[in-house]
């Protein structure tokens, strides 16, 4: 993953990056399970990916992205749309092995999108955050991280 701009020196970005690395490793395991024809293992690994991505996405969408949206509205909207597309396919395995025989192929496609998405964040969003976010905005990101880690629901926006 990226290490050239120094953004990982911030605890928030370092944690998001480590989560990306965990997900990328799990994606590799899903691909192997797919090659082995082990759909049950794929579904289990997808649940592990979702357990990492759920709080991760909350930090991005309620902390990082709102701070960057005024400067990069189209890019942030596209990233959020990708979150929804990926979550939709992952959610199909939330309670077990999906019955749809097309799910494994759709999952592999969604995981390819996820990999591209991670690169966009690593190479674009995180360096931009380093350049644009104020101390107060970083504090908001950290507050969202604390809530996400504790399982406390995100307050609704009026």
User: pTM of the prediction?
Assistant: 0.89
Position 34 pLDDT exceeds 60: yes
What's the pLDDT at 153?
A: 54
Q: Which tens digit of pLDDT belongs to each residue from 89-126?
A: 999 999 999 999 999 999 999 999 999 999 999 999 99
Return the closest-CA partner of residue 86 out of 100, 62, 66, 106.
106
Q: Which tens digit of pLDDT belongs to each residue from 64-80?
A: 999 999 999 999 999 99
Structural domain boundaries of the chain? Answer: 10-149
Buried b (16+ CB within 10 A) or exposed e, 62-94: bbbbbbbeeebeebbeebeebbeebeebbebbe
For residue 16 the two structure tokens come to 């998001």
């Amino acid at each position: 993953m990226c290490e050239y701009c120094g953004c990982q020196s911030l605890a928030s970005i370092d944690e998001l990056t480590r989560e990306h690395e965990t997900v990328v490793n799990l994606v590799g395991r899903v691909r192997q399970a797919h090659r082995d024809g082990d759909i049950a293992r794929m579904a289990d690994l997808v649940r592990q990916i979702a357990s990492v991505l759920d709080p991760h996405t909350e930090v991005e969408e309620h902390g990082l992205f709102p701070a960057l949206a005024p400067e990069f509205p189209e890019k942030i909207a596209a990233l959020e749309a990708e979150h929804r597309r990926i979550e939709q396919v992952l959610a199909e395995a939330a309670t077990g092995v999906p019955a749809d025989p097309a799910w494994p192929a759709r999952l592999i496609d969604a995981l390819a999108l996820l990999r591209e998405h991670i690169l966009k964040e690593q190479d674009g969003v995180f360096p931009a955050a380093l350049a644009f976010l104020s101390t107060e905005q970083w504090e908001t990101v950290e507050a969202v991280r604390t809530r996400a880690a504790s399982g406390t629901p995100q307050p609704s926006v009026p």
